[in-house]
């Protein structure tokens, strides 16, 4: 995979040559748009309505629309003049405790790997950050934008996280909840429930059920089979919160893994609906 950014990582007078590569990427099933008449794939061409013809990539230039249909034209050389120092140098401005950073600010993640000649300085910075528990705050320019980034130390190496700026964080919608009073017993039971469900974070346990359902649908379609959906049991808001907490704590043991509601059947076959336990649950809660 090609590097997303190459340059110098500096802290104080120490300079380390690094390169960034994406640390994660979304894996999603995508669909193409087809013409309903002939089922040909529809494409998005580069078409000029004035010249009435297709446009080659080498004929494209960048323009900023300052008024309606009025553009300021820029060459790549001109745009390069606007690049700040962070386009080539990622300078650590300060170190902060990682737990002080609200995860809401995190955007994309990158692995920062050193050039062989900078391996010693890289290892020195990594060990110092691991020992202190600090994360570095720096700036870097890539993708035509200057980002504030957090450098986080892991045993495997440094990870760079691009961050949202303060003005990009949106406020939550106002909640118009009714007035209520929380009882001490409810607080105690809620804390006990949280403790009973606590576990070590294991990301491999979690899967995208929607994507898995799409894959099942595609496989069934290819084999000329049907996919049926089992009816779900609705979960109503409990009428008695205290009873719901007690009932939740009474269910001991690990929670069973959720099974897919989809299954493949020969065409025409129906799936049996599961027993509805919602009434029984409501009686226990109420």
Q: Where are the domains of the chain?
A: 5-24+81-166, 208-231+260-272
* 113-139: pLDDT as tens digits: 999 999 999 999 999 999 999 999 999
Neighbours of 179 (CB within 10 A): 4
Q: Which two tokens stand for residue 68?
A: 């309606």
Inter-residue contact 264 to 224 (CB < 8 Å): no
Contact indicator for 108, 22 with CB cutoff of 8 Å:
yes
- Those residues with Cβ within 8 angstroms of residue 223's Cβ, 6 or more apart along the chain or in another chain: 264
List, for residues 187-218, the tens digit of each pLDDT value: 998 898 888 888 888 888 877 777 888 888 88
Pairing status of strand 134-142 against strand 106-114: unpaired
pLDDT digits (tens, 9 = 90+) for 79-88: 888 888 888 9
* CATH 2.40.290.10 for domain 5-24+81-166: yes
Alpha-carbon separation of residue 7 from 116, 140, 274 (angstroms): 14, 9, 59
Burial (Cβ within 10 Å: 0-12, 13-18, ≥19) of residue 257 = exposed
pTM of the model: 0.69
Residue whose pair of structure tokens reads 């580069």 in the numeric block: 46
């Amino acid at each position: 995979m090609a590097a997303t950014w190459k340059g110098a990582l500096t802290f104080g007078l120490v300079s380390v040559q690094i390169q960034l590569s994406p640390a994660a990427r979304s894996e999603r099933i995508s669909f193409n748009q087809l013409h309903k008449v002939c089922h040909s794939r529809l494409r998005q061409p580069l078409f000029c309505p004035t010249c009435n013809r297709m446009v080659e990539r080498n004929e494209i230039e960048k323009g900023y629309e300052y008024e309606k249909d009025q553009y300021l034209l820029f060459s790549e050389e001109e745009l390069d003049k606007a690049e700040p120092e962070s386009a080539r140098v990622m300078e650590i401005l300060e170190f902060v405790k990682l737990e002080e950073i609200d995860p809401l600010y995190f955007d994309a993640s990158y692995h920062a790997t050193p050039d062989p000649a900078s391996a010693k300085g890289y290892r020195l910075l990594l060990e110092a950050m691991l020992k202190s528990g600090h994360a570095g705050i720096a700036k870097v320019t890539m993708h035509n934008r200057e980002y504030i980034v957090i450098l986080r130390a892991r045993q495997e190496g440094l990870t760079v996280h691009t961050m949202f700026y303060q003005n990009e964080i949106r406020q939550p919608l106002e909640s118009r909840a009714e007035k209520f009073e929380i009882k001490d017993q409810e607080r105690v039971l809620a804390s006990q429930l949280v403790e009973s469900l606590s576990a070590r974070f294991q990301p491999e346990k979690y899967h995208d059920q929607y994507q898995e359902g799409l894959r099942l649908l595609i496989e069934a379609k290819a084999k000329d089979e049907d996919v049926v959906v089992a009816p779900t049991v609705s979960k109503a808001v409990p009428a008695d919160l205290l009873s719901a907490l007690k009932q939740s704590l009474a269910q001991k043991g690990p929670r069973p893994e959720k099974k897919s509601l989809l299954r493949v059947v020969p065409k025409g076959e129906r799936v049996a609906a599961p027993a509805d336990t919602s009434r029984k649950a409501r009686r226990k809660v109420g």
